[in-house]
Structure 1
């Protein structure tokens, strides 16, 4: 982006409408984009209000799309999803609403698939070390520890 270019409020709003229409965005991202465009705080507030009232920006919709996408594609667990949304300054209410989007049967079967896939990848003869490596992998991806160990105990007895 050309750092010397200046924008009127209308130009900036139009640019951000396209930015938000292309992909769901969180408020934090949009605010940062406006700062990068060298908009003054008052203009940022005016544009943010406009984008929200015209439904280009919607925190709850962003959170739901984020959760669906990261769960389906990256197979993240609820802890990681919650952490990433908090990092984006999403409200607790929107986070909780978004996490309810995940079907529990899908959630458990995804965890089972991940465990089976990872157990096949980990070449470790020691059963305890193998269990720990698989658990670490899942915990890093944000799966709840109680759930991970419960499922691993089903596999390892």
Structure 2
């Protein structure tokens, strides 16, 4: 027998306020959480509007926080950041605003730092293979190919 807790709109709203207050969330995550709570579409819409109006949910703020965090901690490049935000259904406008959170200086410094670090880590004698391994690593992390190859030519 499937006994899953049911929620009133007020209970669900309180639960989601806490969920959003704990950490920035995107609309897609919140909608999914409400669906998991078995809320009907009308209730989901009502709660979403409440969360947005009371500033628990803000797509632009989420995008900025996401970009800052993933860039600083995981050292992701802009391509990867954009791809991940699109996957979360974030608007192009919010993505563009969020990317402005990274200064060009920080961006190039970080690329420089992780390129040097990766070059040291890759134990490959063949220069072309080494270049390819380092490039693949940086491209996977979402760094623009023109920047990656420029950096590699500078160091290797």
The normalised TM-score by structure 1 is 0.97
Q: Which residue of 2 aligns with 1:6?
A: 6
State whether structure 2 residue 72 is matched by structure 1 residue 72.
yes
**Take 2:69 and 2:101, find their aligned partners in 1: how far apart are those partners?**
11
2:101 is matched with which residue?
A: 101
Superposition CA RMSD, Å: 1.0
Aligned to 1:147: 147
Aligned residue runs from structure 1 range 1-157, under 5 A? 4-156=4-156
1:48-81 deviation line (CA, Å, top 9, x unaligned)? 0000000000000000000000000000000000
Q: Which runs of 4+ in 1 moved over 4 A?
A: none
Aligned-pair distance for 1:137? 0.1
The runs of 5 or more residues in structure 1 that have no matched partner are none
- 1:3 positional shift: 5.7
Residues 115 and 54 (structure 1), Cα distance of their counterparts in 2 relative to 1, 3 Å cut:
same
In the alignment, the residues of structure 2 paired with residue 9 and residue 3 of structure 1 have an alpha-carbon distance, to the nearest angstrom, of 19
1:106 to 1:3, Cα distance in 2 relative to 1, 3 A: farther
* Number of equivalences: 155
**How far apart, CA to CA, are the structure 2 residues paired with 1:7 and 1:123?**
56
Unaligned runs of at least 5 residues, structure 2: none
- Relative to structure 1, is the Cα distance of residues 76 and 127 closer, same or farther in structure 2, using a 3 angstrom cutoff? same
Q: 1:108 to 1:3 in 2, by over 3 A?
A: farther
